[in-house]
Amino acid sequence: MYAVVIDVPPAVHDRELEFWRAASGEPLEALRYPGYHGAELHGQQFALLIQRLGEGPARVHVDIHTDDLEAEVARLEGLGAQRVERVHRWQIMRDPAGLPFCVVQDKPGTLTADNASRWD
């Protein structure tokens, strides 16, 4: 697990972003993709992201980072998850209860024995 993502509708996005900037003490800067702001939390290998939704209610989801997207998605499908949609470098999925989460392809060399779990 790499990040908690707070998904918010456009009407409350700016207020939500300012709240989480103050609550976390992190700048939550604009990221590469429009509608996303985030930062790694101070002293941790864990991130907080704020995502502007196009539609739907506010919610929270987790991001799982991997160095082998297809293998991790297949592993999670074997555990009962379902694929929803491929976007950029991540796969949107639903867990067995129907809750959304993302599996994100990480940059090569980012994950090591010191900061990741290995599933063989």
The pLDDT tens digits of the residues spanning 66-75 come to 989 999 999 9
75 three-state secondary structure: helix
Question: If you average pLDDT over residues 84-110, what whole number do you get?
Answer: 91
| 13 vs 31: CA distance, rounded Å | 15
Architecture of domain 3-105: Roll (3.10)
Task: Read off the pLDDT of each residue in 95-114 and give the average, rounded to a whole number.
Answer: 85
Residue 36 has pLDDT above 90, yes or no: yes
pLDDT computed for residue 10 by the predictor:
94
Q: What is the pLDDT of residue 117?
A: 72
How many residues would you count in the chain?
120
- What is the average per-residue pLDDT within 36-61? 88
Indicate the pTM of the whole model. 0.79
Which residues partner with 92 through β-bridges?
A: 85, 102
Residue 65: other Cβ atoms inside 10 A: 22
Residue 84 has pLDDT above 90, yes or no: yes
Average pLDDT of 78-94? 95
Return the pLDDT at 120: 66
